[in-house]
Amino acid sequence: MGSSKKKFVSNSQDSVRMFKSDFLEAFSKVHYTVPLYIFIPVIGYCIYRSVHTDLQLWQYPLTMLAGIFIWTLVEYVMHRYVFHFELPGKWGARLHFVIHGVHHDYPSDRMRLVMPPSLSIPLAFAFFFLFKWLIPDMYLWMFFATFLVGYLFYDIGHYAMHHFNFKSGFFKRLKQHHMLHHYQEPNKGFGVSSPLWDLIIGSVFSKKG
């Protein structure tokens, strides 16, 4: 979608069928707790591997901050330049709808608010091997553990933003930021777990009045 001015329109229905095939349709839905069952054991294993490296105690906080920081960048780039990118033509529109458009059209669909394992697991492997190529093993395991923590915060937090009411504080501000993306300016506010990169890159919402 990129710089397109087209607005997403929220549908009054809660959900829609995406595929004619029952098999494919089943893979398009996932309960919001599923990422926890998949990735918390992976995070635990990464932490276990990390304590058996030569990483010094003072290096842990820096490595953890780096993992979270890089996650916020990955989240922003994927949301803005992958999820909101639309190829021309009927097939481009269909692909965009399957990847992300369905969420904007049906934002209350409880079964499509976290990333399905059919996508999240291959992406996790891809990022792990990318980081393994880029980062010394001494830092890799704790870095990847906190990268995955960032992902879980994003995925579960995203569900919460759509279905929980926050009265005050950090989560209320995050929810307001994300709702503006859905209902006011879908071409801005791409940060979900943090508005950091919206501020840095300049995709913050327009000031009214």
Of 20-24, 29-33, 103-107, 119-123, which has the strongest mean pLDDT? 119-123
> What distance in Å separates the CA atoms of residue 122 and residue 138, rounded to the nearest whole number?
24
Residue type at position 188: K
- What interhelical angle do 117-134 and 34-50 show, nearest 10? 20
- Considering only 41-45, 132-136, 149-153, 157-161, which range has the smallest mean pLDDT? 157-161
Q: Find out whether 61 and 146 touch, Cβ atoms under 8 Å.
A: no
> What distance in Å separates the CA atoms of residue 163 and residue 197, rounded to the nearest whole number?
24
Averaged pLDDT for residues 155-177: 87
Contacting residues for 41 by C-beta, under 8 A, at least 6 apart = none
> What distance in Å separates the CA atoms of residue 185 and residue 178, rounded to the nearest whole number?
10
> What distance in Å separates the CA atoms of residue 186 and residue 192, rounded to the nearest whole number?
12
Q: What is the pTM of this model?
A: 0.86
Residue type at position 124: A
- Using the Cα atoms of residue 133, residue 135, residue 140 and residue 146 in order, give the sign of their dihedral: negative
Q: What pLDDT is recorded for position 124?
A: 97
Q: Find out whether 15 and 106 touch, Cβ atoms under 8 Å.
A: yes
User: DSSP letter string over 47-90?
Assistant: HHHHTTSS--TTHHHHHHHHHHHHHHHHHHHIIIIIIT---SHH
> What distance in Å separates the CA atoms of residue 101 and residue 116, rounded to the nearest whole number?
15
- Considering only 27-31, 118-122, 154-158, which range has the smallest mean pLDDT? 27-31
Q: How many CA atoms lie within 13 A of 35 on its CB side?
A: 24
Question: Which of residues 70 and 16 earns the better pLDDT score?
Answer: 70
Q: What pLDDT is recorded for position 206?
A: 79
pLDDT surpassing 60 at residue 13: no
Contacting residues for 169 by C-beta, under 8 A, at least 6 apart = none
> What distance in Å separates the CA atoms of residue 183 and residue 155, rounded to the nearest whole number?
20
Q: What pLDDT is recorded for position 5?
A: 38
DSSP letter for 8, please.
P
pLDDT surpassing 50 at residue 8: no
Averaged pLDDT for residues 102-131: 86
Q: How confident is the model at residue 208 (pLDDT cuts 50, 70, 90)?
A: low
Q: Find out whether 153 and 193 touch, Cβ atoms under 8 Å.
A: yes
